A and B are shown apart, each in its own frame.
Chain A
Amino acid sequence: MAELSRRDFMKAAVYFIGGLVGVSVGLPSIAYLIDPALDGATKEAWIPIGKLADMTEINRPYPFSFTRVQVNGWERTATSHGGFVIRKSEDPNDLLIINSRCTHLACTVNWVEDERVFACPCHDASFDAQGAVLDGPPPRPLDRYAEFRVSEAGVLEIFYKEG
């Protein structure tokens, strides 16, 4: 092996140490930048929406609403959600729970008792009592809260999953 000159040694040492410093700062910097994109935690919860004993009539939509708080960075944002509970029979488990968020552009639909439809005020869409599209631009029926349970105290709870 050829003799390593002092100058070449210094050069190699500078490149080596410089590279080490660069990597040990560069890699964390990338992690720092992409960190918010890596937060994959989905938030889910059972949300109480009312006593089942208060929803006695069959085939009548009972409105409910709840608020979820999201934390993005240091900022907390509250978002309102809502929907309707419809009893299809006397059976306490025979429920249809509809999300009142219009599937077109996320406006909130209202129940119109006279016509027995859910009407969206934004683009004149209407859905039938089961949530199926009757008229207007929505691409699919109203979403449903498929998972629900009734607690021991008789409170109806729905399973909510964020995202």
Chain B
Amino acid sequence: MWKKIFAWLEERLGLNDLQKSLLERPEPKGNWWNTLGSASLFLFILQGFTGIFLTVYYTPSPDHAYDSVQYIMSGVAFGWLVRGIHHWGATLMVIVVFIHMLRVFATASFKYPRELTWIIGVGLLVATLGMGFTGYLLPWNQRAYWATTVGTQIAGTVPLIGEFILKTLRGGPDLSALTLQRFFAGHIWMLPLVLAGLIGAHLYLIIRHGESHWPKKED
């Protein structure tokens, strides 16, 4: 019975081919350092799920942001767990993505034909840091407020267009409701969209080229 259903689906979807090319593709001799990309992907998905769950209660408004986070932490069942995973997952993701970059650099995996994979990877690192920067403001506590004040101020030191960048980031000259709202929009819509797109391209290139082998003495 199940075999028949599976055969019917397989004939139309061709999932076996997909599995062979995605999950059972040949790999060079295993090395734990080569798993950091998958770890980053896992963390991205984890952050996506916990983030979506947080928006069930979180309210991006100066009147409610702080209180809604307090409510998640102490009022909702397992709110502390969901936010805890999102909070520590964010830190871990930055670390893992960064070590992943170091490994690719150390093993010279960015060379021909994988230059584009590396360039897209740089975009992924920047977008990940952007997620960290925008997410940091959302609890709307003192630390968040002043970290964003300082962060946007630093962006404002760019010659000539500094003030324009600062105003664009803050949605005006000062940190306000507009800042919180646009950081929220960036954090849950724009940056995740950018990340998902870049991850798709990154994965396509990895599957297309396969993984680079660990460099030998002669290399």
Contacts and interface: CB of A to CB of B under 8 A. Distances in A.
Co-complex (A, B): yes
A128 to B, nearest CB: 46
Interface in A128-146: none
A56 interface: no
A40 interface: no
Interface string B72-113: 000111110110010000000000000000000000000000
Interface residues of B, number: 17
Nearest to B82: A32
Given A32-B53, A33-B53, A33-B56, A74 B64 contact: yes
Contact of B82 (A29, A38, A74): A29
B53 A29 contact: yes
B8 interface: no
Nearest to B67: A74
A80 B145 CA distance: 37
Given A25-B85, A29-B53, A29-B82, A73 B68 contact: yes
B212 interface: no
B77 A28 contact: yes
A73 B75 contact: yes
Interface in A5-31: 25, 28-29, 31
A18 to B, nearest CB: 11
Interface residues of A, number: 12
B71 interface: yes
A35 interface: yes
Nearest to A38: B77
Contacts of B49: 29
B77 A31 contact: yes
A32 B50 CA distance: 11
A32 B56 CA distance: 9
Contacts of A74: 64, 67-68, 70-71, 75
A32 B58 CA distance: 13
A138 B76 CA distance: 39
B204 interface: no
Interface in A46-84: 73-75
18 contacts: A25-B85, A28-B77, A29-B49, A29-B53, A31-B78, A32-B76, A32-B77, A32-B78, A32-B79, A32-B81, A33-B56, A35-B76, A35-B79, A36-B76, A38-B77, A73-B57, A74-B67, A74-B68
Given A29-B53, A35-B77, A36-B76, 11 more contacts: A28-B78, A28-B81, A29-B78, A29-B82, A32-B77, A35-B76, A35-B78, A38-B77, A73-B71, A73-B75, A74-B64
